[in-house]
Amino acid sequence: MFTPRPIGHVNSPYQDTSAIPKGLGVKHDAEGVLTLLPEYAPGLTDIDGFSHLFVIWAFDRSEGFELIGHGPTDDRPHGVFATRSPRRPNPIGLTVVELLRREGARLFVRGVDMLDGTPILDIKPYMSSIPAEKLRRGWLAEAESRKQHS
Ligand SMILES: C[S@@+](CC[C@H](N)C(=O)[O-])C[C@H]1O[C@@H](n2cnc3c(N)ncnc32)[C@H](O)[C@@H]1O
């Protein structure tokens, strides 16, 4: 195994987890900046042409993990690997952001759901070849349907 080393950090408007929108159907429109350490900046070469990016990051302010837990999106419990809970055995976050522009080692993005100062582990261009009709949303779709009919 390797020891993850942050390649930079997120500048986000969120200082506290309570400020981050949560729950069913939530949209993340907040803008933020992904600031890379200078030694990794050459790795951003050619990134400008991508509209969206995967950001892989560390939940540096979560503690421990829960294999079955209750989240803010449903009143029923779910397995951690069927959720996006911050309390996971390896506290790794994954967020798709829209790339607005780049200024040197700084990527201006929309769609952050991380706390200010969150360490970034990796960035990759977003690509999906899965047709929408093939995607299944599991318990989330059921929770959405229950909410609509309640
Ligand atoms: C539900 S998780 C989803 C994160 C990411 N989109 C994912 O799927 O891995 C987002 C929540 O993680 C928490 N969070 C954000 N940044 C964090 C950090 N640096 N350390 C611990 N918890 C964090 C906040 O409560 C936020 O609402």
- How far apart CA 136 and CA 104 sit, in angstroms, is 38
Please tell me if the CB atom of residue 20 comes closer than 6 angstroms to any atom of ligand 1.
yes
Q: Which atom of ligand 1 is nearest to the CA of 96?
A: 6
**Ligand 1 pocket, residue 17 CB under 6 Å:** yes
Atom 16 in ligand 1: residue holding the nearest Cα:
114
pTM > 0.85: yes
Per residue in 68-101, pLDDT tens?
A: 999 998 999 999 999 999 999 999 999 999 999 9
DSSP letter (8 states) at residue 145: H
Q: What would the pLDDT profile of 27-70 be if each residue is shown by its tens digit?
A: 999 999 999 999 999 999 999 999 999 999 999 999 999 999 99
Ligand 1 close to Cβ of residue 26 (< 6 A): no
- The candidate with the shortest Cα–Cα distance to 27, out of 78, 97, 79, 99, is 97
How many angstroms separate the alpha carbon of residue 31 from the centre of ligand 1?
15
